[in-house]
Amino acid sequence: MPAVSETIETVQSVQEGGYKWGFETDIEMEFAPKGLNEAIVRFISRKKNEPEWLLEWRLKAFALWRKMEEPRWAAVNFPPIDYQDAHYYAAPKQKAAPKSLDEVDPELLRTYEKLGIPLREQERLQGIAVDAVFDSVSVATTFKERLEQEGIIFCSISEAVQKHPELVREYLGSVVPQADNFFAALNSAVFTDGSFVYIPKGVRCPMELSTYFRINARSTGQFERTLIIADAGSHVSYLEGCTAPMRDENQLHAAVVELVALDDATIKYSTVQNWYPGDAEGRGGIYNFVTKRGACRGARSKISWTQVETGSAITWKYPSCILQGDDSVGEFYSVAITNNRQQADTGTKMFHIGRNTRSTIVSKGISAGRGQNTYRGLVKISPKAHGARNFTQCDSLLIGDQCGAHTVPYIENRCLTAKVEHEATTSRIAEDQLFYCRQRGLSEEEAVGLIVNGFCREVLKELPMEFAVEAQKLLAISLEGSVG
Partner 1 sequence: MLKIEGLTAEVEGRPILKGIDLEVPAGEVHAVMGPNGSGKSTLSYVLAGREGYEITGGRVTFDGRDLLAMEPEERAAAGLFLAFQYPVELPGVGNANFLRTALNAVRRARGEPELDAMQFLKLARAKLKALHMSEEMIKRNVNVGFSGGEKKRNEVLQMALLEPKLAILDETDSGLDIDALKIVADGVNAMRGPGFSALVITHYQRLLDHIVPDRVHVLMDGRIVKSGPASLALELEAEGYAKVAA
Q: Which stretch binds partner 1 (CB under 8 A): 250-258, 328-336, 366-374, 425-433?
A: 425-433
425 is a contact residue toward partner 1 (CB under 8 A):
no
424 is a contact residue toward partner 1 (CB under 8 A):
no
Number of C-beta neighbours around residue 5 at 10 A: 14
430 is a contact residue toward partner 1 (CB under 8 A):
yes
Pairing state of beta strands 137-141 and 128-134?
A: antiparallel
Residue (428 or 438) nearer to partner 1, CB = 438
**Secondary structure (DSSP) of 401-428:** SS-EEEEEEEEEE--TT-EEEEEEEEEE
Which parts of 327-366 interact with partner 1 (CB under 8 A)? Answer: none
* Site map 218..257 versus partner 1, x via CB under 8 A: ----------------------------------------
Pairing state of beta strands 225-230 and 250-253?
A: unpaired
Are 62 and 54 in contact by the 8 Å Cβ rule? The answer is no
431 is a contact residue toward partner 1 (CB under 8 A):
yes
437 is a contact residue toward partner 1 (CB under 8 A):
yes
439 is a contact residue toward partner 1 (CB under 8 A):
yes
The single residue among 34, 124, 201, 457 that binds partner 1, judged by CB under 8 A, is 457
Torsion angle, CA of 39/44/48/51, rounded to 10 degrees? -50
H or E segment at 186?
A: helix 182-190
Q: Cα separation of 68 and 407, whole Å?
A: 27
Q: Which stretch binds partner 1 (CB under 8 A): 75-83, 119-127, 231-239, 433-441?
A: 433-441
Q: Cα separation of 81 and 93, whole Å?
A: 28
The single residue among 110, 384, 414, 438 that binds partner 1, judged by CB under 8 A, is 438
451 is a contact residue toward partner 1 (CB under 8 A):
yes
Are 375 and 394 in contact by the 8 Å Cβ rule? The answer is yes
Residue 445 CB burial class (10 angstroms; 0-12, 13-18, ≥19): middle
The single residue among 34, 426, 458, 464 that binds partner 1, judged by CB under 8 A, is 458
Distinct helix (H) and strand (E) counts, the chain: 12, 23
The single residue among 101, 179, 424, 450 that binds partner 1, judged by CB under 8 A, is 450
* Site map 383..422 versus partner 1, x via CB under 8 A: ----------------------------------------
Min dist. Cβ of residue 430 to partner 1 (A):
8
Q: Which stretch binds partner 1 (CB under 8 A): 152-160, 213-221, 303-311, 427-435?
A: 427-435
Alpha helices, DSSP H, located in 37-130: 38-47, 52-66, 106-114
Residues that bind partner 1 (CB under 8 A): 430-433, 435-444, 446, 450-451, 453-458
